[in-house]
């Protein structure tokens, strides 16, 4: 089972929409790491309610390292933009037991975060976590 993860977000709306998109594409488990401010206070409870209604799973971790430690994915693929990631994502490189991480912060992943996995971009311009998630899941469904 592939995991999609929203990392480093403070927006409750972003958390909610990330879950809606993922569950809409029939992803079973959504992972949220490093949620702060309204993302933690109201976004997570809203998403939890949605997950429960849809009989889906949601996992929250304080840091990305915690998610990696618990989920033990084969690969960690961090989806960023072309300025920080060298290669375009090849959908065939994504496996069933991988953790796909999307950055909720407009600043993108830090260098230290990128060292935790493989950095890839989907489109050349910065379109944010929600746009990248939708394109990623659409591409995975076509494979």
Q: Is the pTM of this model over 0.85?
A: yes
Nearest to 4 by CA among 52, 48, 67: 67
Nearest to 34 by CA among 112, 97, 86, 96: 112
Is residue 137 predicted with pLDDT exceeding 80? yes
Is residue 143 predicted with pLDDT exceeding 80? no
What is the spatial distance between Cα 142 and Cα 117, in angstroms, rounded to a whole number? 24
What is the spatial distance between Cα 142 and Cα 131, in angstroms, rounded to a whole number? 17
Which domains, ranges and CATH numbers included, belong to the chain?
3-141 (3.40.1280.10)
Q: What is the pLDDT of residues 88-130, one digit of tens each?
A: 999 999 999 999 999 999 889 999 999 999 999 999 888 999 9
Chain centre distance of CA 37? 18
For residue 132, the model assigns a pLDDT of 97
For residue 83, the model assigns a pLDDT of 85
Q: Is 119 helix (H, G, I), strand (E, B) or coil?
A: strand
DSSP 93: G
């Amino acid at each position: 089972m592939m995991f999609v993860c929203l990392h480093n977000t403070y927006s409750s709306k972003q958390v909610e929409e990330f879950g809606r998109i993922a569950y809409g594409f029939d992803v079973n488990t959504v992972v949220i790491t490093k949620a702060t401010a309204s993302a933690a206070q109201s976004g997570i409870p809203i998403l939890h309610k949605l997950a429960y209604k849809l009989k889906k799973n949601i996992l929250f971790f304080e840091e990305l390292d915690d998610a990696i430690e618990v989920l033990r994915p084969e690969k960690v693929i961090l989806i960023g933009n072309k300025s920080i990631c060298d290669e375009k994502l090849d959908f065939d490189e994504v496996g069933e037991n991988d953790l796909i991480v999307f950055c909720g912060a407009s600043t993108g992943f830090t260098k230290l975060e990128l060292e935790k996995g493989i950095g890839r971009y989907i489109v050349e311009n910065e379109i944010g976590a929600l746009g990248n998630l939708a394109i990623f899941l659409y591409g995975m469904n076509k494979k």
